[in-house]
């Protein structure tokens, strides 16, 4: 029964153009990989291992999902990937070479290649700045600071229309005047302007209602198709991860318990944690299987 459900989902997926699941990405060059990446937090005498010796290989053009429940270390890992947090131990390789972000200039160079969309659109914007400045920053970062004003407006208008927003309506407005869905779409417009090689999307749809969620996902995948960028998708929604990913990493308590092609991970889960995540997804026309919750807590 369970397999049937998922197969139905797969059928829908195949009808969508962005399906690249069957492509073998292992032949593509590595763009981001890590060995033994660890992050430990010290709060007073309490030591928390947020990310515990994880290894990963992300290939160019791949859409990778990192799935785990709250507190499993997904966001800490994403911050290390972005270079906002230093790993306590281990090594992160960027385009095959050890990543060097020791100085401000090198960091700025690194961030031209990797960008992010954060979970909470309401806290992603500086409330004191107008929307224009967010988009102008992106143009400046791409070296377009000296372009004429008309050209800049044209670029911003193009980026906004890509995400179905009208720049003329947004200009001179403050971010808090937009809805959550519009803010998150504006974030995608930002990525559209920056065109980074890697996009790290940290639960970009978790704070948004179901209707806007589909639109946001659709735009993200469209953007990926256009630019061929690598997308690292961080989510707690295993169904969504199965639906869109080329490769899935399951994270539990700071470790990757299972990884591989989504078909392999979802249809033949080995780790009990993966099984639980799959059974926790509520399904229509079927009683919600909560037995695994107790089972796992006892274990």
Q: Which two tokens stand for residue 288?
A: 């919600």
Instruction: Select 234 or 248, whichever has its Cβ closest to another protein.
Output: 234
Tell me the C-alpha distance between 74 and 76, whole Å.
6
Instruction: Select 109 or 169, whichever has its Cβ closest to another protein.
Output: 109
Minimum CB distance to another protein, residue 114 (Å)? 8
Q: Phi, psi (5° rounding) for residue 246? A: -95, -25
Minimum CB distance to another protein, residue 222 (Å)? 22
Binders in 173-202 for another protein, by CB under 8 A? none
Minimum CB distance to another protein, residue 194 (Å)? 9
Instruction: Select 23 or 129, whichever has its Cβ closest to another protein.
Output: 129
Q: What is the DSSP letter of 66?
A: E
Instruction: Select 32 or 138, whichever has its Cβ closest to another protein.
Output: 138
How many Cβ atoms are within 10 Å of 264's Cβ, its own excluded?
14
Binders in 115-174 for another protein, by CB under 8 A? 115-116, 118-120, 123-129, 137-138, 141
Contact call for residues 165 and 185 (beta carbons, < 8 A): yes
Instruction: Give the largest Cα separation in the chain, rounded.
Output: 65
Identify which range of 42-50, 106-114, 210-218, 285-293 contacts another protein by CB under 8 A.
106-114
- How many residues contact another protein, by CB under 8 A? 23
Q: Is 223 in the site for another protein (CB under 8 A)?
A: no
Tell me the C-alpha distance between 193 and 214, whole Å.
22
Instruction: Select 24 or 176, whichever has its Cβ closest to another protein.
Output: 176
Minimum CB distance to another protein, residue 104 (Å)? 7
Tell me the C-alpha distance between 147 and 239, whole Å.
44
Instruction: Select 23 or 107, whichever has its Cβ closest to another protein.
Output: 107
Binders in 59-88 for another protein, by CB under 8 A? 79, 82, 84
Question: Which residues, including other chains, have CB under 8 Å from residue 184's CB and lie 6 or more apart?
Answer: 117, 121, 204, 205, 207, 208, 212, 216
Minimum CB distance to another protein, residue 230 (Å)? 16
Burial of 171 (0-12, 13-18, 19+ CB in 10 A): middle
Tell me the C-alpha distance between 194 and 61, whole Å.
16
Minimum CB distance to another protein, residue 87 (Å)? 16
Identify which range of 113-121, 147-155, 230-238, 252-260 contacts another protein by CB under 8 A.
113-121
Minimum CB distance to another protein, residue 204 (Å)? 12
Instruction: Select 117 or 277, whichever has its Cβ closest to another protein.
Output: 117
Which one, of 22, 54, 23, lies nearest residue 38 by Cα?
54
Tell me the C-alpha distance between 270 and 70, whole Å.
21
Q: Which two tokens stand for residue 20?
A: 């690249």
Burial of 63 (0-12, 13-18, 19+ CB in 10 A): buried
Q: What length is written for the chain?
A: 299
Instruction: Select 26 or 123, whichever has its Cβ closest to another protein.
Output: 123
Minimum CB distance to another protein, residue 44 (Å)? 15
Residues that bind another protein (CB under 8 A): 79, 82, 84, 104, 107-108, 111-112, 115-116, 118-120, 123-129, 137-138, 141
């Amino acid at each position: 029964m369970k397999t049937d459900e998922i197969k139905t989902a797969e059928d829908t997926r195949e009808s969508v153009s962005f399906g690249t699941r069957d492509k073998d990405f292992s032949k593509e060059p590595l763009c981001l990989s890590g060995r033994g990446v660890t992050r430990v937090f010290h709060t007073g005498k309490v030591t928390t291992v947020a990310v515990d010796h994880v290894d990963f290989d992300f290939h160019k053009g791949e859409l990778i999902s990192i799935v785990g429940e709250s507190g499993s270390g997904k966001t800490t890992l994403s911050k290390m990937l972005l270079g906002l947090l230093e790993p306590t131990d281990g090594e992160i390789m960027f385009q095959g070479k050890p990543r060097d972000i020791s100085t401000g200039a090198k960091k700025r160079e690194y961030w031209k290649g990797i960008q992010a969309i954060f979970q909470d659109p309401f806290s992603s914007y500086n409330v004191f700045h107008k929307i224009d400045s967010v988009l102008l920053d992106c143009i400046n970062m791409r070296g377009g600071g000296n372009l004429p004003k008309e050209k800049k407006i044209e670029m911003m208008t193009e980026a906004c229309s890509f995400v179905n927003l009208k720049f003329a309506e947004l200009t001179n407005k403050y971010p808090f005047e937009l809805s959550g869905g519009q803010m998150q779409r504006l974030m995608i417009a930002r990525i559209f302007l920056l065109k980074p090689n890697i996009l790290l999307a940290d639960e970009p749809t978790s704070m948004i209602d179901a209707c806007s969620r589909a639109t946001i996902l659709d735009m993200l995948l469209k953007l990926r198709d256009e630019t061929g960028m690598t997308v690292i998708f961080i989510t707690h929604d295993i169904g969504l991860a199965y639906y869109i990913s080329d490769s899935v990493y399951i994270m539990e308590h700071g470790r990757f318990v299972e990884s591989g092609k989504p078909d392999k991970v979802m249809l033949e889960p080995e780790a009990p944690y993966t099984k639980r995540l799959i059974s926790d997804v509520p399904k229509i026309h079927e009683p919600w299987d909560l037995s695994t919750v107790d089972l796992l807590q006892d274990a």
